Amino acid sequence: MPERKLAIVTGASSGIGREIAMLAATEGYDLVLAADEPLVDAAAGLRRNGIEVEAIEADLSTPTGVERLLAAADGRDIDVLVANAGHGLGRAFLDQDVAAWRHVIDTNITGTLLLLQAVLKRMVARGEGKVLITGSIAGHVAGSFQAVYNGSKAFVDSFAAAIGNELKDSGVTITCLKPGPTDTRFFERAGMLDTKVGQAPKDDPADVAVTGWEAMKEGEHSVVHGLKNKAQLLASAVLSEAATAEMHRKQAEPGSG
Protein backbone atom coordinates (compact mmCIF):
# COMPACT_ATOMS: atom_id res chain seq x y z
CA MET A 1 0.00 0.00 0.00
CA PRO A 2 1.52 3.39 -0.96
CA GLU A 3 2.51 5.70 1.85
CA ARG A 4 0.19 8.61 2.49
CA LYS A 5 1.36 12.08 1.60
CA LEU A 6 2.64 14.19 4.48
CA ALA A 7 1.81 17.80 5.36
CA ILE A 8 3.49 19.92 8.01
CA VAL A 9 1.38 22.72 9.46
CA THR A 10 2.79 25.24 11.93
CA GLY A 11 0.73 27.47 14.17
CA ALA A 12 -1.81 24.67 14.13
CA SER A 13 -3.35 24.88 17.60
CA SER A 14 -6.11 27.27 16.53
CA GLY A 15 -7.22 29.77 13.90
CA ILE A 16 -6.10 29.56 10.28
CA GLY A 17 -3.51 26.87 10.97
CA ARG A 18 -5.97 24.51 12.58
CA GLU A 19 -8.47 25.02 9.77
CA ILE A 20 -5.81 24.27 7.15
CA ALA A 21 -4.83 21.13 9.05
CA MET A 22 -8.45 20.00 8.89
CA LEU A 23 -8.52 20.55 5.12
CA ALA A 24 -5.32 18.54 4.71
CA ALA A 25 -6.70 15.71 6.83
CA THR A 26 -9.91 15.66 4.78
CA GLU A 27 -7.79 15.18 1.66
CA GLY A 28 -5.95 12.26 3.22
CA TYR A 29 -2.65 13.79 4.31
CA ASP A 30 -0.81 12.51 7.33
CA LEU A 31 0.05 15.48 9.50
CA VAL A 32 2.86 16.87 11.57
CA LEU A 33 1.41 19.75 13.57
CA ALA A 34 3.40 22.29 15.54
CA ALA A 35 2.54 25.16 17.83
CA ASP A 36 4.04 26.93 20.82
CA GLU A 37 1.20 25.67 23.03
CA PRO A 38 -0.37 22.23 23.62
CA LEU A 39 -2.11 20.67 20.61
CA VAL A 40 -4.04 17.91 22.34
CA ASP A 41 -7.52 19.03 21.26
CA ALA A 42 -6.51 19.91 17.71
CA ALA A 43 -4.71 16.62 17.18
CA ALA A 44 -7.51 14.53 18.63
CA GLY A 45 -10.05 16.01 16.23
CA LEU A 46 -7.91 15.10 13.21
CA ARG A 47 -7.11 11.47 13.98
CA ARG A 48 -9.70 9.78 11.82
CA ASN A 49 -9.93 7.66 8.70
CA GLY A 50 -6.48 6.26 9.35
CA ILE A 51 -4.77 9.66 9.32
CA GLU A 52 -1.55 9.71 11.30
CA VAL A 53 -1.09 12.88 13.33
CA GLU A 54 2.11 13.84 15.11
CA ALA A 55 1.60 16.91 17.28
CA ILE A 56 4.49 18.69 18.91
CA GLU A 57 4.80 21.73 21.12
CA ALA A 58 7.81 23.70 19.92
CA ASP A 59 9.02 27.29 19.95
CA LEU A 60 9.69 27.88 16.27
CA SER A 61 11.48 31.13 17.01
CA THR A 62 14.49 29.00 17.94
CA PRO A 63 16.74 26.67 15.89
CA THR A 64 16.07 23.95 18.48
CA GLY A 65 12.32 24.23 17.96
CA VAL A 66 12.68 24.05 14.17
CA GLU A 67 14.98 21.03 14.44
CA ARG A 68 12.47 19.31 16.71
CA LEU A 69 9.72 19.88 14.17
CA LEU A 70 11.82 18.52 11.31
CA ALA A 71 12.74 15.46 13.36
CA ALA A 72 9.04 14.74 13.87
CA ALA A 73 8.72 14.07 10.13
CA ASP A 74 10.89 11.01 10.81
CA GLY A 75 12.71 11.20 7.48
CA ARG A 76 9.55 11.06 5.37
CA ASP A 77 9.16 13.11 2.21
CA ILE A 78 7.27 16.32 2.93
CA ASP A 79 4.66 16.98 0.27
CA VAL A 80 3.14 20.13 1.74
CA LEU A 81 4.53 22.69 4.15
CA VAL A 82 2.20 25.28 5.64
CA ALA A 83 4.41 27.88 7.32
CA ASN A 84 1.69 29.59 9.30
CA ALA A 85 3.28 30.20 12.71
CA GLY A 86 3.45 33.87 13.59
CA HIS A 87 3.18 36.30 16.47
CA GLY A 88 1.70 39.77 16.63
CA LEU A 89 2.64 42.63 18.90
CA GLY A 90 0.66 45.78 19.39
CA ARG A 91 1.22 49.09 21.20
CA ALA A 92 3.94 51.70 20.81
CA PHE A 93 7.40 50.45 19.88
CA LEU A 94 9.09 52.44 22.66
CA ASP A 95 6.83 50.74 25.22
CA GLN A 96 7.64 47.20 24.06
CA ASP A 97 10.14 44.95 25.81
CA VAL A 98 13.13 44.03 23.68
CA ALA A 99 12.45 40.34 24.32
CA ALA A 100 8.89 40.76 23.03
CA TRP A 101 9.75 42.39 19.70
CA ARG A 102 12.71 40.10 19.16
CA HIS A 103 10.41 37.10 19.60
CA VAL A 104 8.12 38.44 16.87
CA ILE A 105 11.06 38.77 14.48
CA ASP A 106 12.53 35.39 15.45
CA THR A 107 9.18 33.65 14.97
CA ASN A 108 7.87 35.42 11.88
CA ILE A 109 11.17 35.73 10.03
CA THR A 110 14.14 33.76 11.38
CA GLY A 111 12.30 30.58 12.37
CA THR A 112 10.23 30.65 9.20
CA LEU A 113 13.35 30.89 7.04
CA LEU A 114 15.14 28.13 8.93
CA LEU A 115 12.18 25.83 8.34
CA LEU A 116 11.68 26.84 4.72
CA GLN A 117 15.29 26.37 3.71
CA ALA A 118 15.52 22.90 5.23
CA VAL A 119 12.24 21.69 3.70
CA LEU A 120 12.72 23.35 0.32
CA LYS A 121 16.12 21.76 -0.21
CA ARG A 122 14.49 18.33 0.11
CA MET A 123 11.52 19.28 -2.08
CA VAL A 124 13.75 20.65 -4.84
CA ALA A 125 15.92 17.54 -4.74
CA ARG A 126 12.76 15.49 -5.39
CA GLY A 127 11.41 17.94 -7.96
CA GLU A 128 8.03 18.34 -6.28
CA GLY A 129 6.32 19.94 -3.32
CA LYS A 130 3.96 22.74 -2.33
CA VAL A 131 4.50 25.46 0.26
CA LEU A 132 1.92 27.83 1.70
CA ILE A 133 3.33 30.77 3.68
CA THR A 134 1.04 32.97 5.75
CA GLY A 135 1.95 36.56 5.04
CA SER A 136 -0.51 39.39 5.53
CA ILE A 137 -1.97 42.48 3.90
CA ALA A 138 -0.30 44.15 6.90
CA GLY A 139 2.95 43.73 5.02
CA HIS A 140 1.78 46.39 2.57
CA VAL A 141 0.89 48.99 5.21
CA ALA A 142 3.07 51.08 7.53
CA GLY A 143 1.78 49.74 10.83
CA SER A 144 1.73 52.43 13.49
CA PHE A 145 1.33 50.78 16.93
CA GLN A 146 2.05 47.45 15.24
CA ALA A 147 5.31 48.44 13.60
CA VAL A 148 7.43 45.34 14.23
CA TYR A 149 4.67 42.94 13.20
CA ASN A 150 3.82 44.77 9.98
CA GLY A 151 7.51 45.09 9.18
CA SER A 152 8.00 41.36 9.69
CA LYS A 153 5.11 40.59 7.36
CA ALA A 154 6.49 42.97 4.73
CA PHE A 155 9.61 40.80 4.80
CA VAL A 156 7.60 37.57 4.58
CA ASP A 157 5.44 38.81 1.68
CA SER A 158 8.52 39.93 -0.26
CA PHE A 159 10.56 36.85 0.56
CA ALA A 160 7.81 34.48 -0.53
CA ALA A 161 7.60 36.20 -3.93
CA ALA A 162 11.36 36.14 -4.35
CA ILE A 163 11.91 32.46 -3.57
CA GLY A 164 8.86 31.57 -5.62
CA ASN A 165 10.61 33.14 -8.57
CA GLU A 166 13.93 31.43 -7.76
CA LEU A 167 12.20 28.04 -7.76
CA LYS A 168 9.88 28.59 -10.73
CA ASP A 169 11.47 25.76 -12.78
CA SER A 170 12.00 23.35 -9.88
CA GLY A 171 8.63 21.60 -9.64
CA VAL A 172 8.10 23.26 -6.24
CA THR A 173 5.55 26.05 -5.81
CA ILE A 174 5.42 28.82 -3.20
CA THR A 175 2.10 30.48 -2.36
CA CYS A 176 1.76 33.43 -0.01
CA LEU A 177 -1.60 33.76 1.74
CA LYS A 178 -2.36 37.37 2.67
CA PRO A 179 -5.27 37.58 5.08
CA GLY A 180 -6.64 40.68 6.72
CA PRO A 181 -8.01 40.81 10.30
CA THR A 182 -9.21 37.30 11.10
CA ASP A 183 -11.24 35.96 14.03
CA THR A 184 -8.41 34.21 15.86
CA ARG A 185 -6.53 34.74 19.12
CA PHE A 186 -4.11 37.07 17.32
CA PHE A 187 -5.41 40.33 18.77
CA GLU A 188 -5.70 38.91 22.28
CA ARG A 189 -2.12 37.63 22.19
CA ALA A 190 -0.90 40.90 20.66
CA GLY A 191 -2.49 42.97 23.44
CA MET A 192 -4.83 44.74 21.01
CA LEU A 193 -8.31 44.03 22.33
CA ASP A 194 -8.79 47.71 23.27
CA THR A 195 -8.15 48.89 19.70
CA LYS A 196 -10.61 49.65 16.92
CA VAL A 197 -9.28 46.80 14.77
CA GLY A 198 -9.29 44.48 17.77
CA GLN A 199 -13.01 45.04 18.31
CA ALA A 200 -14.10 45.20 14.66
CA PRO A 201 -15.77 42.29 12.79
CA LYS A 202 -13.25 39.88 11.31
CA ASP A 203 -13.00 37.16 8.67
CA ASP A 204 -13.79 33.54 9.52
CA PRO A 205 -10.52 31.56 9.75
CA ALA A 206 -12.19 28.60 8.02
CA ASP A 207 -12.90 30.77 4.97
CA VAL A 208 -9.36 32.17 4.97
CA ALA A 209 -7.96 28.64 5.20
CA VAL A 210 -9.92 27.50 2.14
CA THR A 211 -8.69 30.51 0.17
CA GLY A 212 -5.08 29.70 0.99
CA TRP A 213 -5.34 25.93 0.57
CA GLU A 214 -7.01 26.12 -2.83
CA ALA A 215 -4.52 28.74 -4.07
CA MET A 216 -1.65 26.52 -2.91
CA LYS A 217 -3.06 23.53 -4.77
CA GLU A 218 -3.23 25.64 -7.93
CA GLY A 219 0.33 26.85 -7.45
CA GLU A 220 -0.67 30.53 -7.30
CA HIS A 221 2.07 32.93 -6.25
CA SER A 222 -0.08 34.83 -3.76
CA VAL A 223 -3.68 35.22 -2.74
CA VAL A 224 -5.56 37.88 -0.77
CA HIS A 225 -8.67 36.76 1.08
CA GLY A 226 -11.79 38.89 0.78
CA LEU A 227 -12.91 41.85 -1.33
CA LYS A 228 -12.41 44.35 1.50
CA ASN A 229 -8.82 43.24 1.96
CA LYS A 230 -8.17 43.37 -1.78
CA ALA A 231 -9.50 46.93 -1.86
CA GLN A 232 -7.26 47.90 1.05
CA LEU A 233 -4.27 46.42 -0.74
CA LEU A 234 -5.03 48.43 -3.88
CA ALA A 235 -5.40 51.61 -1.83
CA SER A 236 -2.10 51.04 -0.04
CA ALA A 237 -0.35 50.83 -3.41
CA VAL A 238 -1.27 54.41 -4.32
CA LEU A 239 -1.09 56.08 -0.90
CA SER A 240 2.12 57.32 0.70
CA GLU A 241 3.62 55.45 3.63
CA ALA A 242 2.83 58.48 5.81
CA ALA A 243 -0.83 58.20 4.80
CA THR A 244 -1.07 54.46 5.48
CA ALA A 245 0.70 54.93 8.81
CA GLU A 246 -1.89 57.52 9.85
CA MET A 247 -4.73 55.26 8.71
CA HIS A 248 -3.26 52.35 10.64
CA ARG A 249 -2.86 54.52 13.74
CA LYS A 250 -6.61 55.13 13.82
CA GLN A 251 -7.21 51.38 13.84
CA ALA A 252 -4.41 50.16 16.13
CA GLU A 253 -3.72 52.92 18.66
CA PRO A 254 -4.35 51.67 22.22
CA GLY A 255 -7.75 52.79 23.47
CA SER A 256 -9.07 53.52 19.97
CA GLY A 257 -11.75 50.87 20.37
Note the pLDDT of residue 2: 57
Band the pLDDT of 51: cuts 50, 70, 90: confident
- Structure confidence by residue, pLDDT tens digits, 91-132: 999 999 999 999 999 999 999 999 999 999 999 999 999 999
User: Of 79 and 38, which is predicted with more confidence?
Assistant: 79
What is the chain's mean pLDDT, rounded? 94
pLDDT of residue 37: 78
pLDDT at residue 136 above 70? yes
pLDDT at position 251: 96
Active site residue 29: no
| Proportion of the chain above pLDDT 70, given as a percent | 96
Q: What is the pLDDT of residues 70-82, one digit of tens each?
A: 999 999 999 999 9
Q: What average pLDDT does this structure show over 23-45?
A: 82
pLDDT band of 42, cuts 50, 70, 90: low
Q: Which of 29, 145, 149, 187 is an active site residue?
A: 149
pLDDT of 238 reads 93
The three-state DSSP-derived secondary structure of the chain is: CCCCCEEEEECCCCHHHHHHHHHHHHCCCEEEEEECCCCHHHHHCCCCCCCCEEEEECCCCCHHHHHHHHHHCCCCCCCEEEECCCCCCCCCHHHCCHHHHHHHHHHHHHHHHHHHHHHHHHHHHHCCEEEEEECCHHHHCCCCCCHHHHHHHHHHHHHHHHHHHHCCCCCEEEEEEECCCECCCHHHHCCCCCCHHHHCCCECHHHHHHHHHHHHHHCCCEEECCHHHHHHHHHHHHCCHHHHHHHHHHHHCCCCC
Mean pLDDT along residues 134-147: 97
pLDDT at position 1, please?
46
Give per-residue pLDDT as tens, 4-16: 899 999 999 889 9
